[in-house]
């Protein structure tokens, strides 16, 4: 493993959460963009319009991702499916070897796999407590700044 990339929180009201984390806690907005895509192959829930805001310190690797999944969803939909509260912990690591290790241990459940924004591999698995764990070939920090809105 080469590092922890970010932790994602699905929030009820993104603007209220931004005020808390940005204005209250003092985190910087590193990226703010909208994905108009169905991310069901990766997340396990149909989406059509997802807004995501990455916060952190410009000179530090750890990031917090605030996620607005769009339309209201029932609470909670089940283990490993995005809902309000802790959604995932993300790690930068070679994806297939990690999936192979988890499979050998009988852990992680059935992985959800798809290409990332830049075509690199990404997958999600579920930890023993039901938290979604995202495995990324490339860190989110390599996303183009042109995605900022």
> What digits encode the pLDDT tens for the residues 16-51?
889 878 887 778 999 999 988 777 888 777 778 889
Say if CB 75 and CB 53 are below 8 A apart.
Answer: no
Would you say residue 149 has pLDDT above 50?
no
All domains in the chain, ordered by first residue? 3-147 (3.10.180.10)
**CA dist., res. 57 & res. 136, Å (int):** 21
Would you say residue 100 has pLDDT above 90?
yes
> What digits encode the pLDDT tens for the residues 103-119?
998 888 999 999 887 88
């Amino acid at each position: 493993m080469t590092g922890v990339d970010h932790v994602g929180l699905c929030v009820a009201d993104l603007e209220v959460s931004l005020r808390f984390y940005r204005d209250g806690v003092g985190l910087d907005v590193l990226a703010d963009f909208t994905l108009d895509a169905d991310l069901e192959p990766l997340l396990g829930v149909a989406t059509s319009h997802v807004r995501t805001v990455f916060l952190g310190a410009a000179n530090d690797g750890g990031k917090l991702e605030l996620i607005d999944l769009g339309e209201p969803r029932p609470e909670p939909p089940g283990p490993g499916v995005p809902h309000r509260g802790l959604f995932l912990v993300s790690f930068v690591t070679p994806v297939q070897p990690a999936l192979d290790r988890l499979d050998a241990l009988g852990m992680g459940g059935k992985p959800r796999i798809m290409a990332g924004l830049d075509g690199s591999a990404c997958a999600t698995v579920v930890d023993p407590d039901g938290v979604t764990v995202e495995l990324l070939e490339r860190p989110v920090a390599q996303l183009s700044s042109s995605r900022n809105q």
